[in-house]
Amino acid sequence: MKRATVIAVLFLSNYLYASYQDIERIESEDFRNIIGVLAARESRSDLHLLAKESNLLVYNIHHTSTVDLLNQSLRDVYILRQESGKIKWKRVKQAPMPDIIYDYSFLKNKKRSVRKQAQLLKRRLRRQGIPFVNHPSLVTKVSSKRSFAAAMHQEGLNHPETKDFSPKNLAYLLNKFGRVFIKPNYGSGGKGIMIVEKGVTSYKLTVNLPKEAELFKDGIYEPISDVSTYMRVRFEDLDTIEMFDLIQTIIDLYFDQYHHDYTVQQGISGICLRGKSFDLRVTTQRDGSNEIKVTGAFLRVGGNISQGGYFAPISLISELVGEDAENLLQSAFQLALAAHSSLEEPSHGKTFAELGCDIVFDQEGKAFIIETNAKPGYINIFDQHERQLFGADHATIVKQLRAMDDTRNRTLLDYSLYLKAS
């Protein structure tokens, strides 16, 4: 009997799995010649549904799932079922062992005990010789802003100058560039980022803080958007000591989860769109031929989506540069592809299935890659932000972004099939 082929996306969640109705087990013989792709629970139901259309199996591995060595299977995994026109999640007591694991887990904000349990499960799966679509060591490489900066500079790719956060390095970069970003080394979602600008005799500091954080009487508070839980706070006319003390106070009060592991980075004075700063998110992926290609791109205007920014189509760049828009975009795409390639170690089997590359343009139109994300978000995660798409056709933009999701999912599946066959 031909062994079933299962590709899994490792997903970790704090859902109570006891609330799901059990299915006794999935037998290998039920899924001949079927490839399953694991995805994050509700947020990645798109992968489950696509797999079903393609006659493939999908199941989610939770941090409470266990490896059954005796039966060469996994216990307590989750599948998406369609019953009577409704989508329901089911807990499977036993399922065949996966051949490929796509790790799409998010552990940064989980309890330490959950992270440890998840890491232990990953090690047990790797001991079975199951390859991960995104190699774990590469994920670590891009999640650290310090490591990523070193990799980009080593390859000579355009990336802002980045140093460890300290009074000396802050002063050095401010004197050199006049504007810097202070970022948590392992931060995400734009949280904990501060902007410092040097004036003639004083400094200005800007940071997004939770709306309830109105503790600074000298701060100028500005709303970001109706749906954002953050408020932009600006401090002006600071001397050197006031500036550094304020930075430390903000870190201690609101961003201590990053354990004071911060970097300071050259601030790119980028071109603006409709009066707002923007960056370009470029998705690069390996396809079924093992080639790296661009599979999607869109603008994020006004900052990270979770911090009040909004999506916009790349066609709006033509408002800024007219006929040069295509050249501007192509330079960004080439930079993203070069970054993807330079981060990998193909000779050791270390590759990325996909990367989300964040790129900005300086006043001369030169592209700089700011960071990459090994687990970039999908539009269905951000559906609740549709109403932030002011100044554009909401329905058209969401349709475009969902089409990109579909392309990304199909490309991910094609690459997984390539890995299985190679």
Q: What is the pTM of this model?
A: 0.84
Q: Work out the average pLDDT over 155-182.
A: 95
Q: Looking at residues 150-167, what average pLDDT do you find? A: 95
Residue ranges of domains in the chain:
7-132, 138-159+270-421, 162-266
Confidence band of 222 (pLDDT split at 50, 70, 90) = confident
The predicted pLDDT at position 169 comes to 96
- Who wins on pLDDT, 46 or 241? 241
Whether pLDDT at 112 is above 80: no
Does residue 214 register a pLDDT over 90? Answer: no
pLDDT at res. 305: 67
- Rounded Cα distance, 372 and 164, in Å: 19
138-152: average pLDDT: 90
Q: Which residue has the higher pLDDT, 235 or 222?
A: 235
Mean pLDDT for the chain?
81
Superfamily (CATH H level) for 138-159+270-421: ATP-grasp fold, B domain (3.30.470.20)
- Mean pLDDT across 123-141: 83
* pLDDT tens track for 365-417: 899 999 999 888 777 665 544 444 444 566 777 788 888 989 998 998 888 87
Domain 7-132 is of which CATH architecture? Answer: 3-Layer(aba) Sandwich (3.40)
Percent of the chain with pLDDT over 70: 82
**Per residue in 290-332, pLDDT tens?**
999 999 998 888 767 666 677 778 888 887 777 788 999 999 9
Top pLDDT among 390 and 246 is at 246
Q: What is the pLDDT of residue 416?
A: 83
Per residue in 50-91, pLDDT tens? 877 766 777 888 888 899 999 888 898 888 887 777 888 888
pLDDT attached to residue 119: 85
Would you say residue 40 has pLDDT above 70?
Answer: no
**pLDDT exceeds cutoff 70 at 17:** no
The fraction of the chain above a pLDDT of 90, given in percent, is 33
User: Comparing 39-43, 104-108, 194-198, 303-307, which segment has the lowest mean pLDDT?
Assistant: 39-43
Q: What band does 333 get if pLDDT is binned at 50, 70 and 90?
A: very high
Most confident region among 27-31, 125-129, 273-277 by mean pLDDT = 125-129
The string of pLDDT tens digits covering residues 6-16 is 556 555 444 44
The whole-number pLDDT of residue 216 equals: 77
> Where is pLDDT greater, at 141 or 22?
141
Task: Output 398 or 125, whichever has higher pLDDT.
Answer: 125
